[in-house]
Amino acid sequence: TQLLEQSPQFLSIQEGENLTVYCNSSSVFSSLQWYRQEPGEGPVLLVTVVTGGEVKKLKRLTFQFGDARKDSSLHITAAQPGDTGLYLCAGARAGGTSYGKLTFGQGTILTVHP
Amino acid sequence: DAGVIQSPRHEVTEMGQEVTLRCKPISGHDYLFWYRQTMMRGLELLIYFNNNVPIDDSGMPEDRFSAKMPNASFSTLKIQPSEPRDSAVYFCASSPGLARWGYYEQYFGPGTRLTVT
């Protein structure tokens, strides 16, 4: 079983602060995705990283895939109240049957106070 | 374009009753996924289909759960009989296919919140 551990589980910060969310596993993934979910809605894909060491930026969000493709981080610069939500990482199975099947982390609930 | 459509959005039922959740994927998407989300277990994949054929149902919790995809534009997840521990939000997602780098770009529906009393 491939497990993904996210930390922290909860994050409550003031507008303008920076934050980092971590996603770790002992398993290797072919790719890793980050989703954002708002209350009453389904997760929305933010980014997919596919190469070890890859860094992708999406405005104030920076995503990094670990060199060994076992971990990832999401860094938000100057957080805004609109960033509030549940952030989920998901790793795609690297091989075998059900190649590409996603395993989700437990999620990080981010609250940004004005 | 319409996204993934799920119905009903909310369902409250009594233990022992049959529950049917419905999903209409995005047109042209060949893959359909059913997930369950709870506070305790997070988001779990139950089953997924490729071109209407079930590929992996290893996440289906037990025989009370069944899923079908009779055509490319419709899928159902049925629970019979339902139990209080089935209470969760059930999501359907669709994908155009496995990308070159080995991942599915998934588009999620709004979910069905199921409460079994």
Note the pLDDT of residue B1: 65
Mean pLDDT over A68-77 rounds to 96
Nearest to A106 among B42, B98, B99 (CB): B42
Q: What is the pLDDT of residues A86-101, one digit of tens each?
A: 999 999 877 666 667 8
Q: What is the pLDDT of residues A6-23, one digit of tens each?
A: 999 999 999 999 999 999
Q: What is the pLDDT of residues B18-35, one digit of tens each?
A: 999 999 999 999 999 999
Mutate which of A72, A87, A104 to disrupt the B interface (most B C-beta within 10 Å)? A104
Q: Do B110 and A41 touch (CB under 8 A)?
A: yes
Place of tokens 């995005």: B26
What is the share, in percent, of chain A residues with pLDDT greater than 90? 82
